[in-house]
Structures are given as C-alpha cells and as structure tokens.
Amino acid sequence: MYWWERNYDEWWNHPGTKDTTDFQRSKIYSAEKYAAVAVGETREAREALFQMFATEKEVEKFIKRVISYAWFVRRFGRCTIEFRVRRECNRAEGNCYSFRSTESVRSGYIIVPPSMWRTDYILHEMVHAVQLKKFGSGHGRWFAKAMMDVFQLGLPKEISKQHHEALRAGYKLYGVKHNPKRQLKVETREKLRKNFVKNCLRPAAATSEEVIKVNTPQVEHSVAELLVLDVDSLKERLEQS
C-alpha cells in the first residue's frame, strides 16, 4: 500500500484524536533550512540552484504545471490551487500562507510575497493547499511525508536527489515524524505499557518498601533507614554485622 492510500486516522499523532496543535512546525522549518543549506551554502547560491520567478504569471504557470503532473494527480487527485500575491512585506518579514482544503475537496489558495517566489517555498505552500483537514495538523506526519515526495519530484532535477537526501537527514536530525502512526490493538498497547513499567521504570525508582544491598550481600537496609543514617553510624552497623 502506498502512503497516500492509507486511512486518514493513521496520520494522527495521537491515536483516536485529531491533532489540535501544530506540534512540529519549527522542526519542519529547521529541516527545510538544513536541506537548503546542504544544496547551496549561501543565499545567492540557493537562488541560483532553486528556480526563482520574476512575475506572477511564471508562478501561476509553475503551479498549473505541477498539479497536472501524473505523479501529483496520482497522490492528490485533481486539484485547484489559486495563487495570490502579498506585496506589502519584504524578505525579512515576509511569510507565506495557504488556505487548506476541506474534508473532501482538495482546493485552496496560497499567498506568497514576491521576495519568496522560489520553487521550494511555492511547493511547501502547495502541499498545505492540498492537505485535507482530516489528515491532522498543518505540519504533521502527513504533511511531512507529502512534502518530501513533492520536493523530490517538483524541484529541478539537478538538485532534487541531493535535496531529498538532505531533507531526509534533516528530518532525522530534528526528529520530524513523517511516517504513519503505528497502529496497535488495545491488548498489545497495554502489554507494552506494562513491560515498559516493569523493565524501565521500576529498577530506576526504588520506594521506601524496597530493599537495597549495601557493600555486602549479607547486610540489607531499607531506603528509609539509609536516608537517616550518617556515615559513622552506617560503618558501626556494618562492623557489628
């Protein structure tokens, strides 16, 4: 089964509930920046490698071309994405926005300032526009997986492979979740929880009723006793035993 054929609730970060918070937004941005720097160390180098657009028509043409590709239609179906321009900002304060699709129809719009008319920024917002709300948070598991595919297939061929490998490394470095949530039965989940408590938590947390050994296997003292004993009295008790 391909990733885009999986059921929507497999992409929720918390089983049984929809994601209400954008839990890995900053991680996604950090991984993208890591991949971009891996491709081009300076801003000038990145702008030369990633395709930059000079006019609105060029951006619109690029969007229409991408959503008409067979690989895009296979993953997301027939989509409509409107491009809008936000001119009242510069590079320092410029942000991109996208209107997410509804529960069943993949259509929306993206707003990008002219200073960010670059293929990777445009593709990022296009993934937002085609993501159905039922697939979870804005930068969740589904988005991270879809963005990896769209970048690999939508970026210029000269850098797509290198960028894909760098983005995967960035995901690993910053802990970006991009695979479906592991589906477990209630019985299996409870069994794993008990094993975790038994093997990981109990040995590290001794209680006052538990007994620990001090220096020799013949001498045993409770934790509560050891807390009130000073060094001299402890030595005396060890000598007496």
Q: What contacts 146, CB < 8 A, 6 or more positions away? A: 4, 75, 76, 127, 130, 131
If 0-12 CB within 10 Å is exposed, 13-18 middle and 19+ buried, where does residue 114 land?
middle
Assess contact for 162 and 38: CB atoms under 8 A.
yes
**Nearest residue to 207 via CA among 192, 220, 184, 224:** 224
pLDDT in the model for residue 230: 55
Question: For residue 103, how far is the Cα from the chain centroid?
Answer: 22
Per-residue pLDDT at 62: 94
**DSSP annotation string for 156-177:** -HHHHHHHHHHHHHHHHHHT--
Q: What's the DSSP call for residue 21?
A: S
pLDDT for res 190: 85
The overall pTM is greater than 0.75: no
Give the integer Cα–Cα distance in Å for 178 and 151.
Answer: 14
Query: What does the pLDDT read at residue 63?
Result: 93
Q: Which amino acid belongs to residue 135? A: F
Q: What's the pLDDT score for residue 163? A: 92
State the pLDDT at residue 100: 58
pLDDT in tens, the chain (241 residues): 788 888 877 777 765 555 567 789 999 999 999 999 998 878 788 878 888 899 999 999 999 999 999 999 999 888 888 888 876 554 433 455 566 566 666 778 888 888 889 999 999 999 988 888 778 778 889 999 999 999 998 898 888 899 999 999 999 999 999 988 777 777 887 888 888 888 887 655 444 444 444 444 444 455 445 445 555 665 666 666 6
* pLDDT the model gives residue 69: 93
pLDDT of residue 57: 93
